[in-house]
Amino acid sequence: MGRRTYYQRAFGLPLAEQIRDSRVLLVGAGGIGCELLKNLTLSGFGDVTVVDLDTIDLSNLNRQFLFRREHIKKSKALIAKESAGKFNPEVKITALHDDIKSLQFDVNWFRGFTVIFNALDNLDARRHVNRMCIAANVPLVESGTTGFEGNVQAIKRGITECYDCTQKETPKTFPVCTIRSTPSQLIHCIVWAKSYLLTELFGVSEAMEALAADTEGDADEIKNLKGEAELLRQVVSHRDSDNFSKEVFTRVFSEDIKRLRDMKDMWKSRAPPTPLPSEFGEQEKLPEDGGDALTQQDQRIWSPWESYVAFDNSIRRLQKRFLDGETVIEFDKDDVDTLDFVVASANLRAHVFGIKPQSKFTIKQMAGNIIPAIATTNAIVAGLCVLEGLKVLRGDIHKAPMVFTNRSADKSLSAERVVRPPNRDCHVCSVARMLLFIYPKTATLGLLVKDVLIRELGYSDFSVMNGSGIIYERDSNFGEEDDEEWEDNLNKTFGQFGLKEMRFITIHDLSEDEPRVDLELAVVTRENFSFSIELQEQVEIPKRPVPPVSAHGMTNGATNGITNDAANGATNGITNGPSNGSANKRKRDLDDDDGENGAPVKRTKDMDLVDDGQNQAPVIRTKGIVLDEPILDDTHNGAIFIDDD
């Protein structure tokens, strides 16, 4: 019996064919991504594209099962394709070692996919993919995990809330996939200093252990990795030297950064790091106390020079402990020697990568809030992603409320009762949208303002914003229609503004009389284009809704795009789950237990009947999950499903 026959029996012929013919984009090949790619290939999806810029690190191997020791420092996307392809050779897998925010991945590119799965580890990239999916009108299945907690959210423009409909807190967990090569936040630098550099210098070297066990990798790659490891080992072997601090500084903040800059593909869409000169520590004379007084100042941010002083001071203290017989030194936020080392190293690395440093007090708090990833949570969430994806393909996204996992034994899996509608004040999904085609060398802001916004779309008072802020404003209430402050911008081309910042342009209507909702223009560049700038098609831009007024004169609903549900925020993509009870739910008495047409319903010990508050037939709650149609047995559409809506 062929593989396709099993798919048809499991899903039913119509859905099995839809799965086979769909084009899927998977963004991220890390903890969730590895599990999800395996699930997609084994579920019969015919065409999967994987995008990930990261490379494989030793710390990934305990949970990212598609990778082995011989894959360290290789592309995650390429190795994931190679490993997952063995599960199902019939699946076409395309691997792209690139940043999903690259300009080549524009709205039209996103439109080429049937459904998109997010398996990312940082907030900024999540928001970008969410915005692109909303603009392209392609369904998105968003997911995230933090320790034992996880969530899966199906998103479709105009039907469900999007990722930005609720406010998200800044993640307190760290994306381990980027700390070694492309840090973008201070927490990445902190983890690098704490879990990598400190361990390599005064602990057990994981890098050397990995290379010693590697006998099957590419010979040239292994030779290169062993050469790098040998250089680091040479530095570590000088722990009894008076110049040890300077040797470490030169290796990790100068030579290693120069090597990283040579990897040109990494810096196509981001600023490259700036190596510090090896003589950086010689620009000033070290303080007489060696920096002891400086390290006591924990409330202010140290300058790069002061961070070097603290770096030198802390390494000398750790050196003494090592030479006194403490052969393995581990980080403890209450250990002042290791804390000073992590603070100084993290701030120096932040300086190299153009990241804002922080005080010793702040870094101490950040270093204590690191939550490890758990492989089981990733696997559960990846499975839920595919189940929600199947609902999307069946056209049942209205039956795909947000699903949560948590540590509770009584309610380890739960789901919201209904799909949340879009937040009408959301700046991403509750706007009008149009495609704007441009030739970047000749298309100017003036052409956009005068030919498109004023002449074609009829705007009078408005502001134009890109990723960097307001670039033009026209307000007749302030006298001159074209404020001199913005006049110079009108002659600038899109290329001069920077295409990265001009990927989306937002038009905000400043009219006092019935202003329209914000208009989002998705910019698509064309090299062979007969016009400098042109709208693909015009759509009706609705009036901005007036918030309802209560009897007390207070408006209900969201303010500034933040709903009450968002007050508790989210961490690393985890949105707070449904409450344990709601006002319109009550347990029914045994005498009230009736099904359709008044027929009694048998209740087991794990089952409660719940009134939906709308005089509808009761639904069944099994172990904390509300199921409207708990068991679906359809011989045409496939095997028995447990439907978690």
21 annotated ligand binder: no
CA-nearest of 432, 417, 420 to 563 is 420
Residue 34 Cα to chain centre, angstroms: 15
429 annotated ligand binder: yes
Listed in sequence order, the DSSP H helices in 395-510 are: 445-447, 484-487, 494-497
158 annotated ligand binder: no
SS3 446: helix
**Which two structure tokens, joined as six digits, stand for 560?**
């500034």
Residues 23, 46: Cα–Cα separation, whole Å: 7
52 annotated ligand binder: yes
CA-nearest of 125, 131, 152, 126 to 141 is 152
122 annotated ligand binder: yes
Residue 360 Cα to chain centre, angstroms: 27
63 annotated ligand binder: yes
Contact 458, 464 (CB under 8 A): no
227 annotated ligand binder: no
**Which two structure tokens, joined as six digits, stand for 69?**
């020791």
Catalytic residue among 34, 177, 189, 385: 177
598 annotated ligand binder: no
Over 331-357, what HEC string results? Answer: CCCCCHHHHHHHHHHHHHHHHHCCCCC
Residues 322, 236: Cα–Cα separation, whole Å: 12
124 annotated ligand binder: yes
446 annotated ligand binder: no
611 annotated ligand binder: no
Q: What angle do CA 33, 38, 40 make, to 5 degrees?
A: 90
- 133 as an active site residue: the answer is no
Residues 5, 20: Cα–Cα separation, whole Å: 12
210 annotated ligand binder: no
165 annotated ligand binder: yes
154 annotated ligand binder: no
- Which residues does 233 contact at the CB level (< 8 Å), separation at least 6? 205, 208
316 annotated ligand binder: no
606 annotated ligand binder: no
Buried/exposed code over 414-448 (b: 16+ C-beta within 10 A; e: otherwise): bbbeebbebbbbbbbbbbbbbbbbbbbeebbbbbb
Which DSSP symbol is given to 248?
A: H
Q: Binding site for Zn(2+): residue ranges?
A: 162, 165, 426, 429
Residues recognised as catalytic: 177
Q: Binding site: residue ranges?
A: 28-33, 52, 60-63, 76, 121-126, 162, 165, 426, 429
Q: Binding site for ATP: residue ranges?
A: 28-33, 52, 60-63, 76, 121-126
